[in-house]
Structure 1
Amino acid sequence: MAVRLLISYFYIVGAMVFLVFSIAAHADGGLGAKLGNPTGLVKEEVVGNGSSVQPWLIDALEKSAEHGTSIKKREVGLFFLYDLSEPENFVRAMKWLTVASNEGDATASYYIGLMYWEGKGVAKNGTEAVKWYLLAAKRGESMAQAMLGSLYLNGDKFSRTDVDGKEALYWLSLASENKNAIAQRVLGDMYAQGVGVDRDINKAFSLYKQAAMQGDEDAEMQLGMLYLKGIGTEKDAVLAMKWLNKAVDDGSGRAMCFIGNRYMYGDIVSKDFEKAIYWFERSAKAGDACGQDNLGEMYNAGTGVKQSDVDAVKWYRLSAAQGTADAQYNLGRKFEEGKGVAQDLLRAAALFRLAANSGQVDDAEEAWKRVASVIGSDKERAALELVKKLSVAEDFLAVLDSDR
């Protein structure tokens, strides 16, 4: 009886782990966003709750796996990986996932790749991770297919994956056919923007709807935007707000920012700066770069809130660290003017150059030339070195703040 209860509990845990991961692991999107950011696909860490258990339970789990199917072996591996996240149990996780993979289990192959990607129980190794993703993808694992498609779409230095539009389209299309919401949404972005495919907004709408129906929050937001603008479908403000609010309920900071912009500019709703602030704050606190930058703008201008350079800098910094070109430029202006932060022309120049490189071309380019002409050649070279560091930094703000 005890063994049967243990196995029943184990099956429940394994199913929950896989379901949560498959639904939760997805990238930020947007009609103007970088498509299928691979780090977003694995943004949640491979961790568990650190619970300690008695040795007899570990022995029972391993004995049940020894005589079980490849699925049971994989589930035991996932149990050690998530629920018993201690170094020695990562080794056990790798052992049982490898056994399951050797028996042909596609999902186990994917999770081995994820362990190499995250460096759990093994040294981080992007190329080794991609090897396992490829094996899993060929065996039909849709998350591995989506991951590969994203890597090929953008290219990735960590895994030494070159941009390959043909491979990206192949794997994302395959994952989409396998009902993977992430792939459907990323493909929707590709068709909406005409990246790697001919622009087809009707196809994008269809893909967003498929992903949204599965609970992908970014697809829910995109679907709401298309209904709002009447792109790829008829205008429908009711359906637009339905999907936008669904995205908000599912935690989409980008959707919160989008709603804030509607109140900011009086688009389909009455202009209301207080409500705009409310939504920008929710978005910013949810970690969304759009909300952070917009909230910084509100504090900078004193719109709907008391003007505060310090608060403007606070939110610009967070958004700039996520790669928002406008926020990088805005933060550069604060360093140039010495408002909300000590004046530092070298850092101002670096941020202007970075913003120009990131797409904020006109204003940032002009600002770079203005400041570079003042600081002299030595500091200009130092600013360019800082740009290089910031461009590849794992901790953008730590690099920006170093040696100050």
Structure 2
Amino acid sequence: MKKKMLHNQQDHLIQTFDWYKSLAKKGNSKAQNKLAKCYEEGKGTEINLTKAFNLYKEAAKQGNSESKCNLARCYEKGIGAEVNLPKAFNLYKEAARRGNNDAKYNLARCYEKGIGTYKDENQAMHWYKLAEEHNEDAEMAYNIARYYQRTWGEIEDILRCYKKSMALGHAKAPYELAMYYANDKEETFNLIKLSAIRGYVVAQDELGYCYYYGRGTEVNKEEAIRMWILSANQGSIATQCKLGWHYEDGIDIEKDLEKAIYWYEKAAHAGDEGAQNHLAECYEQGIGLEINLEKAVYYYTLAAKHDFSAAQFNLARFYEHGLVLEKDEKKAFYYYSLAAKNSYNAEARFKVAQCYENAIGTEKDLEKAFEVYKEAAMLFDPSVQAQYYLAKCYEEGKGTMQDKEKAIKFYQKAADNELALAQYKVGEYYKSKDIARAFRWFVKAAKQGLKEAKEEVIECKKIGYAEIENQAQMIRDYVTRAEENDVKAQFELAFCYEVGQGVDKDLYKAIKWYKKAAKQDMVEAQLNLARCYEMIVDDDEPEALEKSFYWYKRAAENGNMYAQYQLGYCYYYGWGVAQTMERAFYWFSRSALQGYAKAQYEVGVCYKYGSGVRKDLLKAVELYKQAASNGYEIAQLNLANWYEIGMKKVLEKDVREAFRWYKQSGRKGNSIAQYKVGKYYAEGKVVEKDLTEAFYWFKQAAKNDMEMALYELGICYKYGFGVEIDEIKAFFYFKESALKDYAKAQFNVGYCYANGIGTKQDIDRAMYWYKKAADQGHKRAQRRLELLESVQGN
């Protein structure tokens, strides 16, 4: 039956072809155009592109606009003729002027991309708009929408075209449309689902995420996996790799190593570097496969060549320890460095720092070790080991100046991340200050088997048993009363868990007890509960922001001015609720009326920019003044800025008043204001020039690692401004500022290295820092770099 239908269909095509042919011979231009299509697509005859081209040309001569458009396409794509873009452009233009819609679209494309003519965004927009008016083609509507998107067109135009494309059945259009309904999760879900049903692989993958995390629908992990399998079977490489991971670890699906390997291999052979790395790990660790270190190296090498940092890190391990490969510390250092360079891989940076500290595959360099430890310790996902070693650098003055405060700061960070040695160090720090707190840290380290910590636990019990027992009894009392529904005890217990007072810090336990108190309408608990939810937003808690908003709203409605301010922020930035400037202004105003300085400032900001209220600079200044008078340092800083530059018809320039407010903000700890006060004293603006005072204020600002203040401190130490000359300290502060990408400091670091000022002379490093400054346009650095390069060239 099927064969018979196909045979009948072919007979019909041949008959149609013959009919077009007979009409074409009589000079019918429409038939010539149709016959050309038959030759181009092989319908009812064999494909013959030359004949197709000639027939399009013949029909076009008779003024057939559709043929002109098709002939233009032939010239553009080289169909039956050589490519000739100017001819293509001119033919599109002729056909477009005769009203052919496809030609209008293609003419717009030519103007947009400079095909056969110059680029002209205005002409492109003009012809796309004309093409859109009479368009009934889904792909064309989609592409026009994409153009409007790329050129930051009007939202209404973009939405109209995507909606039209979607109505005409385009698979991708609903998915693209979904991004414009981000605040309507259900509508977003429905659009993504429609796109997935129509077969768009990216939408299928995204629909899987919707089901997995419950975005716009109920959580349905089985359906999520089903969508991912559908996407993977259609060739989505990233999804294939993801499925391998789910099958390997049995995440939301029955563990199946055979299927994990199947999907890893499929993605790896398609070139996915993540899958190649996973497959290598399977060969290395014998996961679903026999251990085969040679194959592990093969796949790590493949992934490493694609700059996949995890694979580069793993390859470095093999070279460092001589696994299969011959031990080669230089190659280990090389691959650790690549891994660190190509990602925010903190562990790779830690290993690079270790190499510099211990001369593994490179020369020993404590300064570089310090720099890289610092990078690894301060990433969003930091290396705990790097935090510990950075603290040691500060404690012992290795590669940097000794700084006990910064040492304990990073020991604390590493201790919070459960590193036993760091916990022991924090315990040592608190031993003479708070024996109960020291005891808790020693206990943590002792539980991990650290011998020295076990000895300290015994020592603490001898010298501070009463204080330790008092805190423990306080917590036991809170627990007993809290479980009896005593609202004050619930609040106090939650607070202890939030700050780590008498117990280990635990935000989730804090939330548990704050929630119990909040449900009894304790406003302070509602506020703190909202804050705690805000703090766990990044801990795989997708609804934390919504919960935070809910409790801020409860507390705000109960009259709490801090909650009202925070609620304003939620509306202002769209945290846990749709962004609504009018509501933000309303709640900021409610808080401001109660005298909260931060809210007064935000109301001023709203008036300044016209956010949720009519723009009014006079009112903005008035609100800034209120907030500044109430001690808010950001308001003081901005008010000072306004006085410094003056605002026509709003605020008269008054440098003395600017200095007064800078100083008030600086006394509150604002580093920008502290820097500005330092500059006023250094330059003798308004106040008498006083280099000692300038040095003091620069030093205060530098405590917050402000790059310009660090640089000014370097200048003070270099030239003895307000302090004795100390070239070592000058170099240190220049370097700290340079690491924050401040060009002036980078130049000075280069100068110090070039001339051996405060450090050993090192021309290579001098050139490195001169280049960093030169790349930012620093003229003196550019000249110095040229000079050194010419000297080295000789």
Shorter-chain TM range is 0.5 to 0.7
Question: TM-score, normalized by length of structure 1?
Answer: 0.66
1:217 aligns with 2:313: no
Cα deviation digits, residues 107-144 of structure 1 (max 9, x gap): 32211222344555456665654443344334443322
1:253 aligns with 2:354: no
Asked which structure has the greater RCO (Cα within 8 Å, sep 6+), the reply is: 1
User: How far did 1:63 drift?
Assistant: 1.7
Paired with 1:124 and 1:329, the residues of 2 have a C-alpha distance of 42
Residue identity matched to 1:132: M
1:184 aligns with 2:276: yes
Paired with 1:141 and 1:341, the residues of 2 have a C-alpha distance of 58
Counterpart in the other structure of 2:143: 7
1:77 aligns with 2:175: yes
Counterpart in the other structure of 2:372: 279
Counterpart in the other structure of 2:293: 201
User: How far did 1:61 drift?
Assistant: 1.3
Asked if 2 retains the 8 angstrom alpha-carbon contact of 1:349 and 1:383, the reply is no
User: How far did 1:189 drift?
Assistant: 2.8
User: How far did 1:299 drift?
Assistant: 2.9
After superposition, the CA RMSD in angstroms is 4.5
Structure 2: which 5+ runs fail to align? Answer: 1-104, 106-127, 133-139, 480-501, 511-532, 540-794
Of 50, 61, 66, 2:167 maps to 66
Counterpart in the other structure of 2:189: 94
Asked if 2 retains the 8 angstrom alpha-carbon contact of 1:152 and 1:163, the reply is yes
Counterpart in the other structure of 1:45: none
User: How far did 1:350 drift?
Assistant: 6.8
Larger Rg belongs to: 2
Paired with 2:431 and 2:181, the residues of 1 have a C-alpha distance of 46
Asked if 2 retains the 8 angstrom alpha-carbon contact of 1:152 and 1:165, the reply is yes
User: How far did 1:85 drift?
Assistant: 7.0
User: How far did 1:184 drift?
Assistant: 1.7
Cα deviation digits, residues 183-216 of structure 1 (max 9, x gap): 2212323333445544332222111112122231
Paired with 2:158 and 2:414, the residues of 1 have a C-alpha distance of 46
Paired with 2:219 and 2:408, the residues of 1 have a C-alpha distance of 34
Residue identity matched to 2:298: S
Asked if 1 retains the 8 angstrom alpha-carbon contact of 2:141 and 2:162, the reply is no
Alignment of 1:80-229 (within 5 A): 80-81=178-179, 84=180, 86-88=182-184, 90-117=185-212, 120-122=215-217, 129-154=224-249, 160=252, 165-195=257-287, 197-229=289-321
Residue identity matched to 1:77: Y
Paired with 1:389 and 1:163, the residues of 2 have a C-alpha distance of 32
Residue identity matched to 1:87: N
Alignment of 1:326-341 (within 5 A): 327=419, 329-331=421-423, 333-335=425-427, 337-338=429-430
Paired with 1:196 and 1:364, the residues of 2 have a C-alpha distance of 42
User: How far did 1:60 drift?
Assistant: 1.0
Cα deviation digits, residues 89-113 of structure 1 (max 9, x gap): x555433321232233433221122
**SS of match in other structure, 2:363:** coil
1:55 aligns with 2:156: yes
Counterpart in the other structure of 1:46: none
Structure 1 residues 293 and 66: CA distance shift in structure 2, 3 A: farther
Structure 1 residues 296 and 367: CA distance shift in structure 2, 3 A: farther
Structure 1 residues 337 and 260: CA distance shift in structure 2, 3 A: same
Counterpart in the other structure of 2:44: none
Paired with 1:333 and 1:129, the residues of 2 have a C-alpha distance of 46
Q: Tell me the matched-pair count.
A: 343
Structure 1: which 5+ runs fail to align? Answer: 15-50, 399-404
Residue identity matched to 1:10: R
Paired with 2:304 and 2:339, the residues of 1 have a C-alpha distance of 9
Asked if 2 retains the 8 angstrom alpha-carbon contact of 1:153 and 1:163, the reply is yes
Structure 1 residues 236 and 385: CA distance shift in structure 2, 3 A: closer
Residue identity matched to 2:393: M
Alignment of 1:365-380 (within 5 A): 366=454
Asked if 2 retains the 8 angstrom alpha-carbon contact of 1:298 and 1:305, the reply is yes
Alignment of 1:226-305 (within 5 A): 226-235=318-327, 239-251=331-343, 252-287=345-380, 288-289=382-383, 290-305=385-400
User: How far did 1:309 drift?
Assistant: 4.6
Asked if 1 retains the 8 angstrom alpha-carbon contact of 2:195 and 2:203, the reply is yes
Of 312, 315, 319, 2:410 maps to 315
Residue identity matched to 1:63: K
Paired with 1:119 and 1:52, the residues of 2 have a C-alpha distance of 32
Asked if 2 retains the 8 angstrom alpha-carbon contact of 1:208 and 1:220, the reply is yes
Paired with 2:330 and 2:149, the residues of 1 have a C-alpha distance of 39
Paired with 2:422 and 2:220, the residues of 1 have a C-alpha distance of 36
% identical aligned pairs: 21
Asked if 1 retains the 8 angstrom alpha-carbon contact of 2:340 and 2:346, the reply is yes
Structure 1 residues 312 and 179: CA distance shift in structure 2, 3 A: same
User: How far did 1:334 drift?
Assistant: 0.5
Residue identity matched to 1:106: V
Asked if 1 retains the 8 angstrom alpha-carbon contact of 2:249 and 2:255, the reply is yes
Paired with 1:254 and 1:178, the residues of 2 have a C-alpha distance of 28
Residue identity matched to 2:146: F
**SS of match in other structure, 2:307:** coil
Asked if 2 retains the 8 angstrom alpha-carbon contact of 1:77 and 1:94, the reply is no
Cα deviation digits, residues 327-363 of structure 1 (max 9, x gap): 355135404641799661464267437x73xxxx555
Asked if 2 retains the 8 angstrom alpha-carbon contact of 1:87 and 1:121, the reply is no
Cα deviation digits, residues 43-73 of structure 1 (max 9, x gap): xxxxxxxx99522311211222333543x34
**SS of match in other structure, 2:360:** coil
User: How far did 1:170 drift?
Assistant: 4.0
Alignment of 1:9-28 (within 5 A): 10=146
Asked if 2 retains the 8 angstrom alpha-carbon contact of 1:335 and 1:342, the reply is no
**SS of match in other structure, 2:350:** helix
Residue identity matched to 1:111: E
**SS of match in other structure, 1:87:** coil
Structure 1 residues 383 and 262: CA distance shift in structure 2, 3 A: same
Residue identity matched to 1:7: N
Paired with 2:331 and 2:265, the residues of 1 have a C-alpha distance of 27
Paired with 1:191 and 1:340, the residues of 2 have a C-alpha distance of 52
Question: TM-score, normalized by length of structure 2?
Answer: 0.37
Asked if 2 retains the 8 angstrom alpha-carbon contact of 1:208 and 1:222, the reply is yes
Counterpart in the other structure of 1:352: 445
